């Protein structure tokens, strides 16, 4: 091993685009991702996460069916080994016959929960938030 050679690492200012080296960075192939590319990347990650969580639910002896449609493309996760099963996924007519009635969640379900949590946290601040204002006795 030779200690006299220069390190193959480049100085930080040449690795990260700055106004001075912005032109040279594009020549090296470093490009900034567009908002749409970032959105696509985040979607891809979330899609994989939901499929992994569906697979975890399957391990609790649950039948799981997840259908995601975006930009005309479908992603299907099913806990069954085949999509050829005529009983799966359940048809709406079958779902209506279940008792107790199924819990149906929509985006509004989560938005109202989020609003409720915000109201609770504003009305009842945590102890750590109130300790510095002299309200608690010691």
d(CA 66, CA 77): 5
pTM of the model: 0.56
Residue 2 clears pLDDT 50, i.e. is over it? no
Mean local confidence (pLDDT), 66-76: 92
d(CA 119, CA 122): 5
**What is the per-residue DSSP string for 69-113?**
EETTEEEEEESSS-TT-TTSSPPHHHHTT-SSPPP---HHHHHHH
What radius of gyration do the chain's Cα atoms show? 26
> Over the stretch 9-64, which tens digit does the pLDDT of each residue have?
544 444 555 555 555 455 667 888 899 999 999 999 999 999 999 999 999 999 99
d(CA 89, CA 103): 16
d(CA 13, CA 19): 10
């Amino acid at each position: 091993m030779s200690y006299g050679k220069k390190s193959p690492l480049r100085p930080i200012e040449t690795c990260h685009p700055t106004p001075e080296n912005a032109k040279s960075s594009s020549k090296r192939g470093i490009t900034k991702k567009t908002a749409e590319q970032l959105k696509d990347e985040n979607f891809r990650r979330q899609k994989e996460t939901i499929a992994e969580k569906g697979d975890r639910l399957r391990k609790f002896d649950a039948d799981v069916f997840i259908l995601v449609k975006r930009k005309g493309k479908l992603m299907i996760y099913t806990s069954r080994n085949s999509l050829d099963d005529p009983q799966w996924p359940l048809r709406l007519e079958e779902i209506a016959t279940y008792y107790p009635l199924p819990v149906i969640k929509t985006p509004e379900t989560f938005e109202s929960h989020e609003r409720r949590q915000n109201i609770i946290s504003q009305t009842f601040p945590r102890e750590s938030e109130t300790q510095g204002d002299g309200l608690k006795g010691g």
